[in-house]
Amino acid sequence: MMNNRSMAQIIGEVERSTKLRVYSKKYSIISYIYENDEASSTSILANCPLASSTFFASLQDLKRSGIVRSRALSSAQVLRRYRLSDQTRALIDSAYLSIDRWMRSRLFAEGDREIAPIYAHVGFIEQSLNIRYYSIEFYIVIHLYEMVEARATDVFSLGKYSSTSFYYTLKRLADMGILTCTADASDSRSKIYALSGHVRSVLDRAHRQIVDLGLLVN
C-alpha cells in the first residue's frame, strides 16, 4: 500500500523509469542507512546500485570520515551493523525539511515566500559532509526540472564537475531522450535544453508521493 512506501522504493522507481542513477555513490549508502538504522552491509549493498568493490570502498571512506558508525554483532567482529553518526543524522534531518519545502513550492506554488533553489538545499549536505549528493546525470536533470529550460553554460556554472564530464553527460542525456534540445533564437551558437515530458512527469509523481507521505519530515 502507498502508506508503506519508502524513499528507497520511490527513488528506485525514478531510476527504473529514467534509467538514471539519482544519488552519488556515497549518498546512496547514506540515504539507505538514514532510512534503515542498524542495517547490515548485505542489505545496504542489495539496495544500492553499486559494484561490490565500489560499495565497500565507499563504505570504508564514510566510516573513516565519521559519517557512518558500525558495531559488531559478535566477538568475531565479522557481522556488523551500520548507522549514521548523530551529527550526520541531525544535519540530514534539517536539510530534508528545507528540501520538503522546496518540493512543495514546485508542486503547489505554496505562498508568496521565495524558496531557495535546490542546489542551496543539497549544497548544505554536500559542504557539511564533503560529498556529492546527486550523480552527475541527475544533477543536470534536477536543475532543468527547476529551471524548465536553460543553456548548457547556465547549468554548468552551478556545479563542480569538469567541463569534459559535464558536456559528455549532457550529450548522452540528450541522445537517451531524457533531454530535449533546441536552437537558441538569440544566439545561434547556443542550444536550449529542457526535460522530456516523460521525465518531468516521473519527477512530479515522485515528489508528490514524497510530500504526501511526509518522508522528508518524519
The band of 153, judged by pLDDT with boundaries at 50, 70 and 90, is confident
Helix (H) or strand (E) holding 1: none
pLDDT of residue 1: 40
**What does pLDDT average to over the chain?**
89
* pLDDT score for 187: 73
* Grid cell 552527475 in the structure block, residue: 136
Digit-coded pLDDT (tens) for 118-131: 989 999 999 999 99
Residue 2 has pLDDT above 50, yes or no: no
What's the rounded mean pLDDT across residues 192-206? Answer: 95
Per cent of the chain over pLDDT 90 is 70
pLDDT in tens, 57-68: 999 999 999 999
In eight-state DSSP terms, residue 196 is: -
pTM of the prediction? 0.88
pLDDT at 89: 96
Summarize the confidence of residues 27-43 as an average pLDDT: 94
- DSSP 8-class letter at 177: T
**How confident is residue 78, by pLDDT bands cut at 50, 70 and 90?**
low
Q: What secondary structure does DSSP assign to 46-86, as a single string?
A: HTS---HHHHHHHHHHHHHTTSEEEEESSTTS-SEEEEE-H
Hey, what CATH topology would domain 23-84 get? Arc Repressor Mutant, subunit A (1.10.10)
pLDDT band at 204 (very low <50, low <70, confident <90, very high): very high
Give domain limits for the chain.
23-84
Residue 134, helix vs strand vs coil: strand
- Given the DSSP bridges, would you call strands 149-151 and 179-184 parallel, antiparallel or unpaired? unpaired
DSSP state, residue 148: S
Q: What three-state secondary structure class fits 19?
A: coil
